[in-house]
Structure 1
């Protein structure tokens, strides 16, 4: 029995030694294991996204002074998009005056739900983020957007001067736009378009230049609106993307009416020329005008005939106080409009050239 007892003691001793060695190694490894990350690093993993979202809703603001707004905020700020809040309308939807909870007035454009069917949300977001960072004195600033399902709302700065359409065609303007104010508006629109065409990368084609898309601030300086809804024209040495032609009757370039389906900067130039005639004459481009022979024709054609005949002062808006207005200056502006509305797109000047001509007056 003694040899067996000795063997048992030896086995127990060996097991104890091995166990102690294993525990020592385990403690050493625990001491050397990395510490958990400090609290601020753990918190960084749960930072809220820049576009707070709820129930599929997404919003984003480009102006630090504008707080986060939701679809419900904008609905309340417009009295549930009340007709009494409508500032204007266009091919893309209605514009409403909104008063935010902070008391700040903004303009909210509610896009037509049909647009959501033709443009994916990612594409919409990318375009809005690009355009939201564009800044120019003659472009209406996009402050942010809110989107949920088919609802897409754009938040613009509110401009107290209203639209150029309202100021020109108000049956009882108080006061009517003076010649100098109209010339300043024309210079502003030309400058904004030149920036979109020649300074933005990629270039931006507006596609719907008209009086209702020109807004006025308190000093009657012009701001082009809705340029953010035109698709950007990407150009490179190897590729020119196609941009669907669009526009409004009376302002639309003749090549679009004749079936050309690709928009271009020259189409915007034509629309600017029609707008220039409208500003000078006070007549709507979509309304026919009777010529001296009693035959009705489009406003642009009627004005072009007057330019050729040298009758600029005769077609000037009768609401303009003509005291101090020089015939040569009126004719110079009409000549710019004449060149912009040339039937041949290649013969039209660039908007950069138009800016130079108008600034030299």
Structure 2
């Protein structure tokens, strides 16, 4: 395997030239890892280059994790790693370039959202589910992503989804069902409650994150579990309330009008709510989710109320850390708190 990983190594000057010395106008965005740049290799192949920031939450351990993981994982709904560069001053990951950027750029942009008709949204949900099923159950290694969110779902030219950013992922043994960490990593609003509070994670932690994404795709709204609005206005609470009041179709993004398959929408809402159940044991396996999305006759249980964190103000993240004694590392849009050594 090491020989294979070594064969993926790029020369730093090759990447520097491809990105025009990491020109500002080639910058695609940035995240917990650092900045991402578009580049073009000498033969004309377009690439996306992730550049490890010196101040990054993620470090060399995550860098090596992502190389090994993505090199081993091959699925049409996972982003493809082309190679890497590990020079004395730079750590770079080189990926296939996906022209439509990430799901959140479409889903939460009023101008771009119009291109997401229901069939496209349903195909994105189904593709993410297939990618997770592969990670959890079908690949040679079982992988827990730990930072699944709409900004880590990339879209190709045909709007097919690809799960990206494996720097925080964890390998599981074949018979292992749960892991523990002293450092909570991920993004508030997508974290399963047992992980956010105690550090316990499993494939069901990813299932929870998937459920949040499903409800975001259906509603066109971003989940904000730690926003300044009262928690009763948060997406997950609203989805549960509408389901419980037998008015689930009121959750649908108004951008869709009447152009959607009602049966598919209701199934997605129900699956989303089942995936965000408070107790991990109540959440479905991705095999069952994929089967349901594929139209197989599966009897889905009635969702129970999901877990809601306290009074939901922005400061609640630190309040929870104080209350439960757990350090938090947030890789999304909110504040990053204390960083601890990797477990």
Asked if structure 2 preserves the Cα contact closer than 8 Å seen for 1:160 and 1:217, the reply is: yes
CA contact (8 A) 1:245 1:262 kept: no
Offset, 1:109: 1.0
* Structure of greater relative contact order (alpha carbons < 8 Å, 6+ residues apart): 2
Q: Provide the residue aligned with 1:15 in structure 2.
A: none
Give the length in aligned residue pairs.
Answer: 294
> For 2:120, which of 159, 181, 185 is the aligned residue?
181
CA positional deviation for 1:296:
4.3
Q: Displacement of 1:238 after TM fit?
A: 8.5
**Aligned match for 1:89, one of 23, 27, 30:** 30
SS of residue in 1 equivalent to 2:255: coil
Q: Paired residue for 2:52?
A: 111
Describe the superposition over 1:188-229 as per-residue Cα deviations: whole angstroms up to 9, x where unpaired: 0000011001122331111111111111111111111113x2
The answer to whether the Cα contact below 8 Å between 1:60 and 1:146 also exists between their aligned partners in 2 is: no
Q: Is the 8 A contact 1:290 1:296 kept in 2?
A: no
In the alignment, what sits opposite 2:238?
Answer: 302
The partner residue of 1:322 within 258, 267, 281 is 258
Contact 2:78 2:164 in 1 (8 A): yes
Shift of 1:114: 5.5
2 CA distance for matches of 1:220 and 1:341? Answer: 25
Contact kept, 8 Å, 1:288 with 1:297, in 2: the verdict is no
SS in 2 for 1:103: coil
> Is 1:312 aligned with 2:248?
yes
- Find the counterpart in structure 1 of residue 94 from structure 2: 155
CA deviations over 1:102-122 (Å, ceiling 9, x no partner): 2211011112336799645xx
After superposition, where does 1:58-97 map in structure 2 within 5 Å?
60-61=7-8, 69-97=10-38
2:201 pairs, out of 250, 256, 263, with 263
Aligned counterparts of 2:188 and 2:177: Cα–Cα separation in 1: 30
Note if contact 2:223-2:236 (Cα within 8 Å) is conserved in structure 1.
Answer: yes
Structural mapping, 1:198-347, within 5 Å: 198-227=137-166, 229-235=167-173, 242=180, 245-258=184-197, 260-286=198-224, 296-323=232-259, 325-347=260-282
Q: TM-score, normalised by structure 1?
A: 0.73
**Deviation of the 1:329 alpha carbon:** 2.4
In 2: Cα distance, 1:240 partner to 1:275 partner: 22
- The CA deviation at 1:71 is 1.6
1:169-189 Cα distance to aligned partner (Å, 9 max, x none): 123127420001000000000
CA distance in 2, matches of 1:125, 1:289: 34
Q: Does the C-alpha gap of structure 1 residues 297 and 288 become closer, same or farther in structure 2, counting only changes over 3 Å? A: farther
Structure 1 stretches of 5 or more lacking a match? Answer: 1-48, 52-57, 62-67
Q: 1:78 to 1:326 in 2, by over 3 A?
A: same
Say which of 112, 117, 140 aligns to 2:79. Answer: 140
- Post-superposition shift, 1:262? 3.2
Counterparts of 1:236 and 1:181, CA distance in 2:
34
Q: Which moved more, 1:81-90 or 1:348-357?
A: 81-90
| Displacement of 1:153 | 0.7
Q: What secondary structure is seen at the aligned counterpart in 1 of 2:16?
A: helix
Whether the 8 Å contact between 1:211 and 1:275 is mirrored in structure 2 is yes
Offset at 1:253?
1.1
